[in-house]
Amino acid sequence: MTRSPLDSAIQSQRSEKKSKRGILYTALLGVAGLGAASSVFAASISLNSGSAISFSQATQTIAACDTDGIAASLGSAYNNSASEFLWNDITLTDVDSGCNDKSIDIQIWSSSAKLVTITGTVAASSDGTTLSVVADDDANGIVTQASVTKDGSAETDTWTAIDGTIATTYESSIDAGDVATSGARVVIEIN
């Protein structure tokens, strides 16, 4: 049986088509495999130990007495007469009892400068204690607190689980409105 010269050209085109089709299927299978593998790895990533993440502020804690971390949140209220938001609350949660009777220094920073510092002594008799400073009047926000011994009568705002000599000190020309609009980072130091 004699073969025509066209037979080899036809077979060559068929095997070339099969080869291109095989490469295409292999590439599609590879892409699908990578997509599936990457979704499995992405599903197993855990951020912040499964706790809530706040994108509005960063918290930096320097406290050897607390091994599982302290969360911080800032609150604000709108003052209609001033037409601005005022910082009216800072809350620290999950403070360990190992920090009890230690000095605390809380600083709130903008992206480039310190805005305010709060100082006192931690009163955490049990693990998971919540510390806070809350404005007595939302229309004023948290106000400057001269350095005084906390006794229930000299405080300008409501202090919870922070005692001893307490103080709230704003940097020059900064007030609760600046903290509400520019507060970006909280630094907590417990010694």
Give pLDDT tens digits for 129-176: 999 999 999 889 999 998 888 887 888 899 999 999 999 999 999 999
Is 26 a domain residue? yes
pLDDT at 55: 38
Residues 101 and 180 in one domain: yes
CA 132 centroid distance within chain: 18
| 50 in a structural domain | no
Query: Does a structural domain hold residue 51?
Result: no
Give the C-alpha separation, 46 to 36, whole Å: 19
Is residue 169, in this structure, part of any structural domain at all?
yes
- Give the residue among 157, 27, 186 at the shortest CA–CA distance from 89: 157
- Identify the weakest region by mean pLDDT among 2-6, 114-118, 185-189: 2-6
- Residues 141, 121, single domain; the answer is yes
Mean pLDDT value of segment 16-43 = 62
Q: Under DSSP, is residue 144 helix (H, G, I), strand (E, B) or coil? A: coil
Range of the domain at 118: 57-190
| 101 shares its domain with 126 | yes
The residues, any chain, with a CB within 8 Å of residue 44's CB and separated by 6 or more, are none
Q: Are residues 77 and 139 in the same domain?
A: yes
Same structural domain for residues 19 and 75? no
Do 170 and 78 sit in the same domain of this protein?
yes
Average pLDDT over residues 185-190: 92
Residue 100 falls inside a structural domain: yes
Q: Is residue 20 domain-resident?
A: yes
Examine the domain organization and report whether 23 and 78 are in the same domain: no
Is the pLDDT at 177 greater than 80, yes or no? yes
Q: Examine residue 117 and state whether it is found in any structural domain, yes or no.
A: yes
Q: 10 Å Cβ neighbour count for 177? A: 17
pTM: 0.69
Same domain for 3 and 74, yes or no, is no
Least confident segment among 10-14, 47-51, 90-94: 47-51
Both 17 and 77 in a single domain? no
Are residues 61 and 37 located together in one domain of the fold? no
For residues 16 and 67, state if they share a domain: no
Is 45 a residue whose pLDDT tops 50?
A: no
Same domain, 67 and 37: no
Q: Per the structure, how many domains does the chain have?
A: 2
Domain contains 52? no
